[in-house]
Chain A
Amino acid sequence: MKTWEYIVRRLLLLIPVLIGVTIITFVISHVIPADPAIAFAGGPKAQPETIERIREELHLNEPLLVQYFYYLNDLLHLNFGKSYLESRPVLESITQYFPATFELTIFAMLISVPLGILGGIISAIRRNKLSDHITRIIAILGYSMPIFWLALMLQYLLAYQFPILPLEGRLSIGLIAPQSITGLYVIDSILTGNINTLSASLYHLILPSFTLGFATMALLLRMTRSSMLEVMGMDYVRTARAKGLSERVVIMKHALRNALIPTITVSGLQFGALLGGAVLTESIFNWPGMGRFAANAVMGLDFNSVMGFTIIVAIIYVIANLIVDLLYAVIDPRVKLGGE
């Protein structure tokens, strides 16, 4: 099977996955014995006709199955319904929040993947030396430190005690966002040649992306280190050394390629997970992203938003997994996609 056939087949798999996801989330979110219409209509100040109108819009008076088909029908027309909490279409909210999370995730990965892998390699080849100890301690800190604590500490130190970085947000206060092309402020600023928003958005990315990337870095560091150690002890590495290859070639060309496979799997999944939104990081740095949006939607029983969010995350996961699988084949020629 050719690679493209494999990709198409995997993408087609998205359809049953998405149907499954919509059924499960729809049922879970709708079996809660509460009708959110009163809350959406304004709580104790709600007018009866407003409540009734919302019930009709959401088809809450119909049986669950009928509600589900209404939903599916809308979805086929790319209509995710209306978010009552934000009082606008869900798609509009997602179009605003997803690029924010995407940008943050990319920068977090740009920090965590190179540092994690590099740290892991150093730690493995200089095992039990001082540099190994230091990197291992960083790794332990990375995944044992609660992310909200790290976020608050960084914010407190670098935005308040020694105010060199901005406290919160994607842009400086009152600055108008660059014209939206991709929704990623950094890219949009470059495309529109807006230096002000470019520097402001980069500056605002530092703390949240470091916070978000720190735990991932720690994870990747540990993974790379242990798989490197395992691979370095293998026969073929000894053979490579015996052939007289330089240590650099042995590590970079022979050991690392094999050692990276688990690291790549984890990076891909981590990327997918981060795209789902990092509620804590986004909340503390007031980053208008998917995590904050989803958390509010769940608390407020905003079904449409919850569903829209879940569908987007499911698609991301499937695609992230696909990319990981494709990368396997690049790194390890023995891996044949789709089998022979």
Chain B
Amino acid sequence: MNKKFCILAIGICLSMTLTAFSGCVEESTKIELKNPDTLVYYTFGDAKTLDPADAYDSASAEGIFSIYEGLITYKGDDLDTFYPSLATSWDVSEDSKTWTFNLREGVKFSNGNDFTAEDVKYSFDRVLTMNSPESGVAWILQQSMDLDSTKIIDDYTIEINLIEPYGGFLSTIAYTVGFIVDKDYVEEHGGIVADTENEYLKLNPIGTGPYMVDHWTRNTELVLVQNPDYWGGWDGKHVKKVVIKYANEAATRILALKNGDADIAVIPNENLEDVEDDEGIIVIAYDSFDLVMAEMNTLSDNSMYLANPEVRRALCYAFNYQSAIDDAYVGYMSRVAGAIPNGMPYYDSQNNGVPVYDYDLEEAEQILDEAGFTLNEDDQRFDGATIRIFYNAGNTERYKMALSFQEELNKIGILSSVIAENWPQLLHRMYTTADWDLIFIGWGPDYNDPDDYVFPFVASSDVNGDTFNTGYKNESVDEYLLEGKYSADPNVRENAYKNAFDIYIQDPSMIYIGQRQFIRPKRDWVQGYYYNPVRDWYWYDYYKE
């Protein structure tokens, strides 16, 4: 190779390197507002369906919450009160079993059809009959309703008779599964077939909500436009068009937000520092209802050590919560007292909202020593047996927590291994085998009621709880949780959840690590934004200025 070639080559490489770094030193310039009438949200993962009777993923809900409506709704970030939507007022009988709703008159679906009580009965019965073959979401209504529950009193009055009184009933019908479809439209397009999805409704939604679908290119974008007949009207400030863009690569979303293509974008926690110093980008963290936990396998034939409640208590003390918050979640997580997230009703029934377990290795060691799990001659507990910690491959936060936990366990003489598995494989392991000790898991809300958290986590499988297959069973806890579930009296529920917690927390099946924060960096021209943990997006309320 001759000299000229070398010089040239070095020159080109140098200039490429300089170009690569040029961005790092440049000041970010002020970006102009693009498309004032169109709100662009960059996220990842396509919606699966726009049929409210079968939608159970957050990407689908992003569209459905603005296309369809339920009888009642939320307003802004207020979680304490239900507001009228398709119902103008409602009443409940003394025994908490019969609900009467007065419906709003003069509402039209976006195809021009009138909304009446027929549509309400049809929609609820449709969910129960169709039985959400894709997603299984129908359980949310099925737990308190059957085909005889909904009665039409007149065109604008409906009565719902619950199978059992249910404390979370209003929350369940404020979720997308309780949203109202147009009977005539559905009947024209396939009707209701038991246990079968409706392919047409999946792609072609018609609701009463403020927006309707302009087009949905799968895995590319979902575009919503204003429904001109919306009963709520278009006074005030609203955007004409909403574009939900699906871009799986985080780097693409970051650049889209930086150059102003995106008004709001999903940015992973570890990349927030790339955008938070930009002029014109706002990063605010809100407490979400997303819990992060480590579940422990409590069945003695799986792990003779974890079957012992004292060992599980010791592990709760051995977990370094602050390190998980600071290192794994870069600060965007707060501690949580138990299975009910902060912000949900009855959070304070859990030790007044104060976590019972803190990071305390000495306490952990003492508990283990007293329980007879002392160190052996190699300074190891459990005779050198290994606790296997699983997480789903690719989840860096859980990976960091797993490594940190392994280190802490090592300090108190417990050997452990950290194992990554693809999500489907890990689920298979969790549900069909006994072959695991500890798994990092998470949970997000279906609707705003503790029964959607504490019951599936803590109640035993005998009463249809134990969603994470920990094998946990405590009869007194089960009794209290059932009492809380089937009561609509806040005092009864408060006490039931408190009693259940007090017993459970001394015999825990999970390490409650924290409650994640919800962060959607946005341009400063996005106005009217707020965060509601059970209804992430409601496009009607946002505008650009």
Tally of chain B residues near chain A (CB < 8 A): 68
Chain B minimum-CB-distance residue to A153? B20
The answer on a CB contact under 8 Å between A39 and B251 is no
Distance in angstroms from B423 CB to nearest chain A CB is 6
Chain A contact residue count (CB 8 A cutoff): 57
Chain B minimum-CB-distance residue to A163 = B259
Considering the chains assembled together, what is the distance between the CA atoms of A119 and B443 in angstroms?
Answer: 56
- State in angstroms the CA–CA spacing of A96 and B424 once bound together: 25
Q: Which of B214-222, B316-324, B365-373, B476-484 contacts A (4 or more CB under 8 A)?
A: B214-222
Could you tell me which residues of chain A, from 261 to 314, have a CB within 8 Å of some CB in chain B? 283-286, 288, 292, 299-301
Q: Which residues of A contact B218 (CB under 8 A)?
A: 86, 88, 93, 96, 288
Cβ–Cβ < 8 Å partners of B430 in chain A: 44
The reply to whether the CB of A173 lies closer than 8 angstroms to some CB of chain B is yes
Is A156's CB under 8 angstroms from B255's CB?
yes
Question: Which single residue of chain B is at the shortest CB-CB distance from A97?
Answer: B219
**Contact count A vs B, C-beta below 8 Å:** 156
Per-position binary interface string of chain A over residues 118-154, scored 1 when its CB falls under 8 Å from any chain B CB and 0 otherwise: 0000000000101001101100110000000000110
- Distance A44 CA – B444 CA, assembled complex (angstroms): 11
| Residues of chain B from 191 to 249 with CB closer than 8 A to chain A in the complex | 195, 202, 214-215, 217-221, 223, 241, 243, 245-249
B427 contacts chain A at the CB level, 8 A cutoff: yes
- State in angstroms the CA–CA spacing of A244 and B252 once bound together: 58
Q: Which chain B residues lie closer than 8 Å to A299 at the CB level?
A: 394, 422
Residues from chain B with Cβ under 8 Å of A44 in the complex: 427, 430, 441, 443, 456, 467-468
Contact of A286 among B4, B26, B248 (CB under 8 A): B248
Quick check: is A50 within 8 A (CB to CB) of the other chain?
Answer: yes
Chain B residues, Cβ within 8 Å of A35: 424, 428, 432
Candidates B9, B48, B422; contact of A87 at CB < 8 Å:
B48
Residues of B within 8 A of A288 (CB): 217-220
What separation, in Å, do the CA atoms of A301 and B514 have in the docked complex? Answer: 30
| Of A5-13, A164-172, A321-329, the one touching chain B | A164-172
CB-contact partner of A42 in B40, B56, B429, under 8 A: B56
A87 to B15, CA, bound (A): 47
Bound state CA distance, A53 and B30, in angstroms? 54
In the complex, chain A residues whose CB is within 8 Å of the CB of B195? 53
Question: What residues on A are CB-neighbors of B8 within 8 Å?
Answer: 133-134, 137
Specify which of A45, A87, A286 is in contact with B247 (CB 8 Å cutoff). Answer: A286
**Contacts A86-B219, A133-B5; is A43 near B255 (CB within 8 Å)?**
no
Complex CA gap A168/B131 in Å reads: 39
**Cβ of B22 under 8 Å from chain A:** yes
Name the residue on A nearest B44 (C-beta). Answer: A286
B9 close to A137 (CB less than 8 A): yes
Decide if B425 touches A155 in the complex (CB within 8 Å): no
Q: Which residues between 164 and 218 of chain A lie within 8 Å of chain B, taking CB atoms? A: 167-170, 173-174, 176-177
Residue pair B136, A286 in contact (C-beta under 8 Å): no
CB of A119 to closest CB in B, whole Å: 15
Q: Mask for A25-68, Cβ within 8 A of B = 1, else 0? A: 00000001111101111111111011001000000000000000
CA distance A86 to B216 in the complex (A): 13
Contact of B136 among A42, A128, A176, A283 (CB under 8 A): A42
The docked-state distance in angstroms from the alpha carbon of A140 to that of B16 is 13
A284/B252 in contact, CB under 8 A:
yes
Contact yes or no, B133 A141, CB < 8 A: no
Is the CB–CB distance between B422 and A285 below 8 Å? no
Q: Which residues of B contact A173 (CB under 8 A)?
A: 35, 38, 40, 221, 243, 245, 261
Q: Are A141 and B12 in contact (CB under 8 A)?
A: yes
> Do A161 and B26 have beta carbons less than 8 Å apart?
yes
For residue B46, CB closer than 8 A to chain A, the reply is yes
Q: Looking at the assembled complex, report how far the CB atom of A37 sits from the nearest CB atom of chain B, in whole angstroms.
A: 9
Tell yes or no: B493 within 8 A of A by CB.
Answer: no
A159/B247 contact (C-beta < 8 A), A39-B423, A173-B221 known: no
Indicate if B23 sits at the interface (CB-CB under 8 A): yes
On whether A174 and B221 interact (CB within 8 A), knowing A32-B425, A44-B441, the answer reads: yes
Q: Which residues of A contact B23 (CB under 8 A)?
A: 156-157, 160-161
The answer to whether B46 and A86 have CB atoms under 8 Å apart is: yes
User: By the criterion CB–CB under 8 Å, are A159 and B4 in contact?
Assistant: no
The verdict on B460 contacting chain A, using a C-beta distance below 8 Å, is: no
Q: Judge whether B241 and A301 touch: CB under 8 Å.
A: no
**Pair B243/A45 contact, Cβ less than 8 Å:** no
Once the chains are docked, how many angstroms separate the CA of A128 from the CA of B3?
Answer: 11
Are B56's CB and A133's CB within 8 A?
no
In the bound complex, do residue A36 and residue B424 qualify as a contact, i.e. CB atoms below 8 Å apart? yes
As a 0/1 sequence over residues 11 to 41 of chain B, the CB contacts with chain A under 8 angstroms (1 = contact) are 0100010011011001000000001001010
What separation, in Å, do the CA atoms of A160 and B133 have in the docked complex? 44
B9's partner among A33, A128, A140, A170 (CB-CB below 8 A) is A140
Closest partner residue, chain B, to A82 (CB atom): B134
Could you say which residues of chain B place their CB within 8 Å of the CB of A163?
259
Q: Are A300 and B38 interface neighbours, CB within 8 A?
A: no
Find out whether the CB atom of A161 lies under 8 angstroms from the CB atom of B22.
Answer: yes
Query: Which residues of B402-461 are within 8 A (CB) of A?
Result: 422-425, 427-432, 441, 443, 446, 456
Are A284 and B249 in touch, CB under 8 angstroms? yes
Assuming A161-B23, A174-B38, is B48 touching A39 (CB within 8 A)? no
Q: Does B2 contact A (CB under 8 A)?
A: yes
1/0 contact trace for A98-121 toward B, CB 8 Å?
000000000000000000000000
Give the CA-CA distance A173 to B40 in the complex, in Å.
8
B423 near A133 (CB under 8 angstroms)? no
**Interface status of B126 (Cβ within 8 A of chain A):** no
The answer on a CB contact under 8 Å between A283 and B259 is: no
Closest CB of chain B to A274's CB: distance in Å?
Answer: 19
Chain A residue nearest to B215 (CB atoms) is A176
Residues of B within 8 Å of A141, CB to CB, are: 12, 16
> Is there an interface contact between A155 and B243, defined as CB atoms closer than 8 Å?
no
Closest-by-CB residue of A relative to B217 is A177
Interface residue? B398 (CB, 8 A) = no
In contact, A128 and B2 (Cβ under 8 angstroms): yes
A160 contacts B12, C-beta separation under 8 Å? no
Give the distance in Å from the alpha carbon of A34 to the alpha carbon of B430 in the complex: 11
Interface positions of B (Cβ within 8 A of A): 2, 4-5, 8-9, 12, 16, 19-20, 22-23, 26, 35, 38, 40, 46, 48-49, 56-57, 131-136, 139, 195, 202, 214-215, 217-221, 223, 241, 243, 245-249, 251-252, 255-256, 258-259, 261, 394, 422-425, 427-432, 441, 443, 446, 456, 467-468
Can you offer 13 A-B residue contacts whose CB atoms are under 8 A?
A41-B135, A44-B427, A45-B467, A155-B252, A160-B258, A161-B23, A161-B26, A169-B220, A169-B221, A173-B40, A174-B38, A174-B40, A301-B425
Q: Which residues of A contact B (CB under 8 A)?
A: 32-36, 38-47, 49-50, 53, 86-88, 93, 96, 128, 130, 133-134, 136-137, 140-141, 152-153, 155-157, 159-161, 163, 167-170, 173-174, 176-177, 283-286, 288, 292, 299-301
Given contacts A44-B468, A156-B23, A300-B423, 12 further A-B contacts (CB under 8 A): A32-B425, A36-B424, A38-B431, A87-B134, A96-B218, A96-B219, A133-B4, A152-B251, A156-B255, A168-B256, A174-B40, A284-B252
Closest 4 CB pairs of A and B: A47-B136, A39-B424, A50-B136, A34-B425
